[in-house]
Amino acid sequence: MYRDQIRQAYDDLSPSFQVLAKFLLDHTYEAAFMNASQLALHLDVDPATVVRFAQRLGYPGFPELLGEIRSEVQDDLQRYTQPSEFTTDPASVALAALRREINNLELMERSMKPRNINKFTEKVGNASSVLIVAEGSGHALGQLFSHQLNSIGINAHTISPSPASVAATLSAMSPDDVVIGIAETSICQDVAHAIRLARHRGIYTVGIAGSTTWPVATAAELLLTAPNTSAIRTPDFPALMTLLSTLYQALWVSTQERQLAKEKAYSAMLRSFTQLRNNENHPDMPDRLTERPQAANGFGISV
């Protein structure tokens, strides 16, 4: 396989060949849709360098190397789209689920676009408020995510997509806000309805779903996918939780200056509060036991 050949030869490759090798290993899905000229243009190398690189690995030319890359991508996609066989043996189900989660996380890493992460952090990080809409078991994850956002100074809260909650909340929101819809299964229709209503009001919307064909995915302006290939239609918590954790870390970094200012203000306020308490517990009062009383004259008047 080309991956093994690249790893074995990597240390002896020229700098330009190493640039090509690293791109093919780290951005396989993107490389699979490029010919030699497109790859050369993308990496700012000579097209002849691409051909020589393939020959250095033992291929007649780049098309043969590209064919192997595309075959690997096709195998990955088949593994992603093909449902697992149903079984009643708990151990088999558990092991199949573990393999599926590993595949899902690998697929999520490969399919995640940096521009989508940057767009998410830009919109959410600068929003006046963030509304997270989720139902079922996804509501608990939404609450956890909103708690994380609030911890870094982003005003966020979570609601279930009931008609009353959606109407009351969206009617008070503005285009400076963001609505995030979390779908942990394919049947979260009400979350998709809330997303569509938000878009109709000019509010920026983000969909977090397990597939690009789920209702929430097609309703939102920006889609972030946490792949769900469960054969028994259960929520795929590991992929979803990993995606939310990834987004939180990206937001933390993008709002780092705000975090530092917040920590500085907190430290100053804590010092002031502690000083007030210390002054209250130890007041500067005279010692009444040692203070001499004033003398009185014969008329009972102090002198």
Token pair, residue 256, equals 């780092």
Q: Is the predicted pLDDT of residue 287 greater than 60, yes or no?
A: no
The CATH number of 2-81 is which of 2.102.10.10, 3.90.180.10, 2.60.40.420, 1.10.10.10? Answer: 1.10.10.10
Q: Which helix (H) or strand (E) holds 80?
A: helix 62-81
The Cα-based distances of 262 to 77, 148, 174, 231 in angstroms read: 44, 15, 26, 46
**pLDDT, tens digit, 9 for 90 and up, residues 132-187:** 999 988 899 999 999 999 999 899 999 999 999 999 999 999 999 999 999 988 88
Ranking 138-152, 184-198, 248-262 by mean pLDDT, the lowest is 248-262
CB 134 within 8 A of CB 141: yes
Task: Sketch the domain layout of the chain as residue ranges.
Answer: 2-81, 112-254
Q: pTM for the full model?
A: 0.60
User: For the residues of 98-145, what is the DSSP string, one character each?
Assistant: HHHHHHHHHHHHHH--HHHHHHHHHHHHT-S-EEEEE-TTHHHHHHHH
**pLDDT, tens digit, 9 for 90 and up, residues 14-58:** 999 999 998 998 888 889 999 999 999 999 999 999 999 999 999
User: For the residues of 58-76, what is the DSSP string, one character each?
Assistant: T-SSHHHHHHHHHHHHHHH
Report how far apart the first and last C-alpha atoms of the chain are (Å, whole number). 107
Token pair, residue 54, equals 């393939």
Gap between the Cα atoms of 100 and 231, Å rounded: 10
Q: Which CATH superfamily is domain 112-254 in?
A: Glucose-6-phosphate isomerase like protein; domain 1 (3.40.50.10490)
